Structure 1
Amino acid sequence: MIEVRDLRVAFGTGVARRDVVKGVSFAVAKGETLGIVGESGCGKSTVLRSLAGLDRHWEGGIAFDGRPVGRERARDELALAQMVFQDPYGSIHPRHRIGRVLAEPIRAMGRGPGWDRVGPALTQVGLPAGFAERFPHELSGGQRQRVAIARALMLEPPILLLDEPTSALDVSVQAEVLNVLADLRDERELTCVLVSHDLAVIAHMCDRALVMRDGVFVDELTRDDLRAGRTHADYSRTLVEASLL
């Protein structure tokens, strides 16, 4: 479902140029959840933003379901992969009611007003349909992130991109949001890429994980590796040891 070849991302020019992603390649099968784990600044979120079409600085090749996509994308190409961001406070317009937030992707893609799909979208993430009349500040962080998940699924994308979807939430609600994501993934047969620095989240959600350091992948871990704490590179071992502290 996802194929990435020699992806490179750099910012700045001349002496100010910074290579953030340095020629990474990977593939994700239909229905698979791939994790990308690494410390802050390693380039993992930049990979995700390139897949989503939010970052247009990339070079290399990206294909969805065998269809190459470029830096500039048509509406139907943008609809193939939707993203859930890290911060549920900053990713939702504070002055729009939840109903408008959810209907906006439908309208933006020219698929109608979208109001008829708001109630079912809220219900599928475990929120009452009446929340459509509320403003974001009237919801908790976990509820807001559920709204963000519902919004990402409004266009029924086959690919869901998750950028640290629980790191801004209290520990008490992280598991609830992860369970909602897992249920929706299985129900819709979604292909997912999950970026996180939390190995416990990666182990809970992912079929396998790529370990990223300084713009390149240094290790690949299976689900059994993740659950057993087994690694194949010194840096991966350091991450596992740090997660146990």
Structure 2
Amino acid sequence: MIEVSNLSVSFGSGEARRQVVQGVSFVVGKGETLGIVGESGCGKSTVLRSLAGLDRHWEGDIRLAGKPVDRERSREQLKLAQMVFQDPYGSIHPRHRIERVLAEPARAMKTGDGWSRVAPSLEQVGLPANFAERFPHELSGGQRQRVAIARALMLEPEILLLDEPTSALDVSVQAEVLNLLSDLREERNLTYVLVSHDLSVIAHMCDRVLVMKDGTFVDELDKGALEKGETHHPYSEQLFEASFL
């Protein structure tokens, strides 16, 4: 479902030029959840933003659903992969009612008015249909993130890109959101790329994990290695020790 070859991302020019992602390659199968873990600033979110079409500074090759995508995406290419951001309050317009937040993707992509799909989209993420009339500040953090997930699904993408989707939430609601994401993946046969610094979240959700350091992948762990805490690189070992102390 996702094929990335020699992806590099740089910002700035001249002496100020900084390479954030350095020639990474990976593949994600249909229905699989790939995790990317590493410390802040290592390039995890930049990889996601490149996949989503939000960042256009990338070089290399990206293929989604078997088709190459460009830096300037067509509507059809944009619909393939949608993103759920870290902060559900910051990613939702504070002055728009939830119904407008959810209808906007369909209207922007000209796939219908979107209004008729608001109630079903709320219900599929475990929220009452009457939440459509509310503003974001009237919802809890967990409810706002459910709205963000519902919005990402409005265009019926095959891929969800999850950027620390539970790190801004209380511990008590993190598991609920992760379980919702797991259920949606099974129901819709979705493919996920999940970025997190929390190895317990990665271990719960992911089939494989890539460990990122300074813009490159230094390790790859499958589900069995994750569960046993087995690593193949000193940096991965440090991450595990720091996470589970």
SS state of the match for residue 112, structure 1? coil
TM-score (norm 1): 0.99
SS state of the match for residue 178, structure 2? helix
Distance of 2:66 and 2:48 partners within structure 1: 18
Distance of 1:111 and 1:202 partners within structure 2: 34
The one-letter code sitting in structure 1 at the alignment partner of 2:75 is R
Residue 96 of structure 2: aligned partner:
96
Query: In the alignment, does 2:127 pair up with 1:127?
Result: yes
How far is the alpha carbon of 1:233 from its aligned partner?
Answer: 0.4
How far is the alpha carbon of 1:244 from its aligned partner?
Answer: 1.2
For residues 103-182 of structure 1, what are the structure 2 equivalents within 5 Å? 103-182=103-182
What is the CA deviation profile of residues 148-187 of structure 1, one whole-angstrom value per residue up to 9, with x for unaligned ones? 0000000000000000000000000000000000000110
Query: In the alignment, does 2:48 pair up with 1:51?
Result: no
SS state of the match for residue 3, structure 2? strand
Query: In the alignment, does 2:235 pair up with 1:227?
Result: no
How far is the alpha carbon of 1:60 from its aligned partner?
Answer: 0.1
Number of aligned positions between the proteins: 245
How far is the alpha carbon of 1:232 from its aligned partner?
Answer: 0.6
SS state of the match for residue 25, structure 2? strand
Query: In the alignment, does 2:25 pair up with 1:25?
Result: yes
How far is the alpha carbon of 1:237 from its aligned partner?
Answer: 0.1
How far is the alpha carbon of 1:74 from its aligned partner?
Answer: 0.7
Residue 237 of structure 2: aligned partner:
237
How far is the alpha carbon of 1:117 from its aligned partner?
Answer: 0.4
SS state of the match for residue 154, structure 2? coil
Distance of 2:226 and 2:173 partners within structure 1: 22
How far is the alpha carbon of 1:112 from its aligned partner?
Answer: 1.5
SS state of the match for residue 79, structure 1? helix
Percentage identity across paired residues of the two chains: 78
Distance of 1:30 and 1:190 partners within structure 2: 7
Instruction: Compute the RMSD of aligned alpha carbons.
Output: 0.4
Query: In the alignment, does 2:208 pair up with 1:198?
Result: no
Distance of 2:219 and 2:104 partners within structure 1: 39
Distance of 2:156 and 2:4 partners within structure 1: 22
How far is the alpha carbon of 1:34 from its aligned partner?
Answer: 0.2
Distance of 1:194 and 1:200 partners within structure 2: 12
Distance of 2:225 and 2:147 partners within structure 1: 33
The one-letter code sitting in structure 1 at the alignment partner of 2:182 is A
SS state of the match for residue 193, structure 2? strand
How far is the alpha carbon of 1:65 from its aligned partner?
Answer: 1.3
The one-letter code sitting in structure 2 at the alignment partner of 1:23 is G
The one-letter code sitting in structure 1 at the alignment partner of 2:174 is Q
SS state of the match for residue 142, structure 1? helix
Distance of 2:176 and 2:244 partners within structure 1: 22
Distance of 1:28 and 1:244 partners within structure 2: 27
Residue 61 of structure 1: aligned partner:
61
SS state of the match for residue 131, structure 1? helix
How far is the alpha carbon of 1:66 from its aligned partner?
Answer: 1.1
SS state of the match for residue 212, structure 1? strand
Which runs of structure 1 show a deviation greater than 2 angstroms over 4 or more consecutive aligned residues? none
Residue 39 of structure 2: aligned partner:
39
Query: In the alignment, does 2:77 pair up with 1:77?
Result: yes
How far is the alpha carbon of 1:111 from its aligned partner?
Answer: 1.3
SS state of the match for residue 111, structure 1? coil
Runs (5+) with no aligned partner, structure 1: none
Distance of 2:25 and 2:59 partners within structure 1: 12
Distance of 2:234 and 2:7 partners within structure 1: 24
Distance of 2:17 and 2:142 partners within structure 1: 38
Distance of 2:112 and 2:225 partners within structure 1: 46
